[in-house]
Amino acid sequence: MPRCPVRPQLKMLPMPLRRLVVLLLLYCILPWTTAGFGAPAEGAGAELRVAVVTISREEPYQEMLHALRTSLLAAEPRASIETLAAGGVTAADLANRRLVVTIGTQAAQRVAELGPALPVLHTLLPASAYERLAHVRAGSPTSAIFLDQPAERQIELLRLALPAWPRVALIAGRTSGNLAQRLSEAAAARHLLVRVGLVDADGDLYPALQQVLAEPAVLVAIPDTHIFNSYTVQNVLLTAYRNRSPVLGFSAAYVRAGALLSLYSTPAQIGTQAGTVAARVLHGERLPAPAAPTQFEVGININVARSLGIALKPAQELTAELQRRERVQP
């Protein structure tokens, strides 16, 4: 370290001048003792830098971000977390990071376009969206925590909540065929009858619903935004209701809109899981395989249950029992 030219006897100076000298001393010392505010030094500190790329400041994304930050810093307090807007992020912004975490499908697509040669963990996106990312096909080190619940978990909930309903209805599009297939197999393994309707264009949705709900069945909504979105959800729920068929949704909003049941993970639950994964990566572990959320909740709509004449256990009881069954599985 070079000499600092300011070395007076502080006690002999007036107070205002003494304060100025202290600031000058700090100015001389700090550049040689730190790497600057917000920029970790080379070496071990640089290895703990995490970039979080998100598309929105809306509540779900902020809830996810807060939980991720809390979980990661609890496991690794030295971690440096920087939030970047997906719309303006560049390859240079992602350089010298130990890990990139994306929140939402659009953020994942943007990072995939940049193709960083470092681990990337995608969150808050359907499995179908993850499978379409270009750099996943290229074999880059990536993983994901999906929005989708495992097919086995959804079917187990149906057997637990609606044991008297033997039929399951599914609507699948071009990008959600694999998910519909997994649900069909899980339902068949539990001796349920499955009908699948295929939707290639917007005009196919209503005929497909009429086909699969020709007899009352539990309609399982799939997280395919081409089929189930803000423009179609009300018509889907109304059609199912007219056919005396309950709906299993994939978000809390579905229950509020009129689904009988929903099985979902909150942004906070996914954020906590992402923080745990991030901490392990910072400690030298590889990214785990893409997976569904480990934590989840069940929501129910009492009014819809009453209208359909269905008796349901409380949501908390269904959640606890589903969690217990997963714990005891081999």
pLDDT tops 90 at residue 308 = yes
Q: Per-residue pLDDT averaged across 192-210, rounded? A: 92
pLDDT tops 70 at residue 17 = no
| φ, ψ dihedrals at 84, nearest 5° | -125, 140
Tokens of 251: 């978000």
pLDDT-derived band at 54, boundaries 50, 70, 90:
very high
Q: Per-residue pLDDT averaged across 200-229, rounded? A: 91
Neighbouring C-beta atoms of residue 153, cutoff 10 Å: 18
pLDDT-derived band at 126, boundaries 50, 70, 90:
confident
> Is 46-147+268-282 CATH 3.30.930.10?
no
Strand-pairing partners, residue 218, are 168
What is the Cα–Cα distance from 119 to 136, expressed in whole angstroms? 11
Angle, alpha carbons 52-92-62 (nearest 5°): 15
Which of 1-15, 124-138, 206-220 is least confident?
1-15
pLDDT tops 90 at residue 16 = no
- Position 267 scores a pLDDT of 95
pLDDT-derived band at 194, boundaries 50, 70, 90:
very high
pLDDT-derived band at 59, boundaries 50, 70, 90:
confident
Mean pLDDT of the chain: 85
| Residue-by-residue DSSP string for 34-100 | -S-TTSPPTTTTGGGEEEEEES--SHHHHHHHHHHHHHHHHH-TT-EEEEEEGGG--TGGGTT-SEE
pLDDT tops 70 at residue 265 = yes
Report the share of the chain in percent with pLDDT over 70: 84
Q: Per-residue pLDDT averaged across 168-173, rounded? A: 94
Helix (H) / strand (E) element for 296: namely: none
- Position 199 scores a pLDDT of 92
Edge-to-edge strand order for the sheet containing 261-264?
193-198, 167-172, 218-220, 247-249, 261-264, 297-300
Instruction: Say whether 151-264+296-328 and 46-147+268-282 share the same fold.
Output: yes
Q: Where are the domains of the chain?
A: 46-147+268-282, 151-264+296-328
Tokens of 248: 């299993």
Please state which CATH class domain 151-264+296-328 belongs to.
alpha beta
pLDDT-derived band at 330, boundaries 50, 70, 90:
low
pLDDT-derived band at 57, boundaries 50, 70, 90:
confident
If one compares 25 and 73, the residue with the highest pLDDT of the two is 73
- Position 1 scores a pLDDT of 42
- Across the chain, the runs of DSSP E, i.e. the strands, are 49-54, 80-85, 99-103, 120-125, 142-146, 167-172, 193-198, 218-220, 247-249, 261-264, 297-300
Closest CA to 326 of 166, 207, 210, 154: 154
Residues 6+ apart with CB under 8 A from 153: 263, 292, 296, 322, 326
Which of 53-57, 165-169, 316-320 is least confident?
53-57
Q: How many CA atoms lie within 13 A of 75 on its CB side?
A: 18
Closest CA to 81 of 11, 91, 67, 90: 67
Q: Which pLDDT tens digit goes with each residue over 60-109?
A: 899 999 999 999 999 999 999 999 999 999 999 999 899 999 999 999 99
DSSP symbol at 291: B
What is the Cα–Cα distance from 84 to 282, expressed in whole angstroms? 19
pLDDT-derived band at 176, boundaries 50, 70, 90:
confident
